[in-house]
Each structure stands twice: as structure tokens, then as C-alpha cells.
């Protein structure tokens, strides 16, 4: 497994751990106000980062490309801005961070699309 793929998996497990703790907290407190932040942390953070990690582990050379590294950095930035941004938004504290996070999430997906679409095919024997 290359370094980029490993960093994706570590980030994914970290986001899922925090998301699960938040889920348990919501259950104990019987206050589900933060459910949308919990859901996006788990899905955009945990699930998407794991998906990126799979791709970078399975495609030879993809994990060393500069564009791939930028894509993963943008994806992580999106998560750490988006989830708290949604938490603030659902509590009526403004939507600016949530909007910025959502646009970064979109940018990271467009970068991933570019990485996948421009991945050189292996030369077959």
C-alpha cells in the first residue's frame, strides 16, 4: 500500500471514529440536532476517504501523482470545514462554513474525476 492510500485510510478511520462518538453522544443526550453533521462526517469523511484510499491502492502509480496528493488534501480540507459548518448551520449560527465546505467537497470530487480520467493505462503484455 502506498503512502497516499495509507493516509486516506487513516483519515477515514479517524473521521468514522469521531462520527461514531458524535452518534453515541446524540443517542445518550437524546438530542439529534447534529445528525446532519454526523452523517456528512461519516459519509464524506469516512466513506469517501476510504473509497479514495481503495483507488490509490489499486491503481499502480496513481498515489505518487501530484494531482492525486492535491485531491486528497482538498478532500480532507472539505471534511474539516464541511462537518463543523453543518453543525453551526443547523444551530442557526450561519451557513458560510457549510457552503465553503460543500464547494471544497465538490472540488475534491472534480479533481478525483480528473485523476481517474487521466490515469495512464498499463501496457498489456
Binding site for ligand HEM (CB under 6 A): 16, 19-20, 23-24, 26-27, 32, 35-36, 38-39, 42-43, 46-47
Q: Least CB distance from residue 40 to ligand HEM, whole Å?
A: 8
The least CB distance from residue 45 to ligand HEM, in Å, is 9
- Angle among Cα 15, 117, 119 to the nearest 5 degrees reads 85
Q: How far is CA 37 from CA 3, 58, 73, 81, 92, in A?
A: 29, 30, 20, 11, 13
Using CA atoms, how far residue 12 sits from 42, 76, 93, 115, in Å, is 8, 9, 27, 20
Question: Of 43 and 70, which CB lies nearer to ligand HEM in the complex structure?
Answer: 43
Give the shortest CB-13-to-ligand HEM separation in angstroms.
11
Query: By C-beta, is 22 or 68 nearer to ligand HEM?
Result: 22
Amino acid at each position: 500500500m502506498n503512502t497516499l492510500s495509507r493516509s486516506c485510510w487513516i483519515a477515514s478511520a479517524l473521521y468514522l471514529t469521531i462520527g461514531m462518538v458524535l452518534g453515541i453522544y446524540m443517542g445518550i443526550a437524546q438530542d439529534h440536532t447534529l445528525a446532519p453533521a454526523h452523517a456528512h462526517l461519516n459519509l464524506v469523511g469516512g466513506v469517501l476517504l476510504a473509497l479514495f484510499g481503495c483507488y490509490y491502492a489499486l491503481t499502480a502509480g496513481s498515489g505518487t501523482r501530484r494531482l492525486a496528493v492535491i485531491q486528497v488534501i482538498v478532500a480532507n480540507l472539505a471534511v474539516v470545514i464541511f462537518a463543523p459548518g453543518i453543525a453551526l448551520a443547523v444551530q442557526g449560527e450561519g451557513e458560510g462554513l457549510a457552503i465553503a465546505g460543500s464547494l471544497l467537497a465538490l472540488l475534491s470530487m472534480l479533481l478525483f474525476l480528473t485523476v481517474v480520467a487521466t490515469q495512464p493505462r498499463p501496457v498489456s503484455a
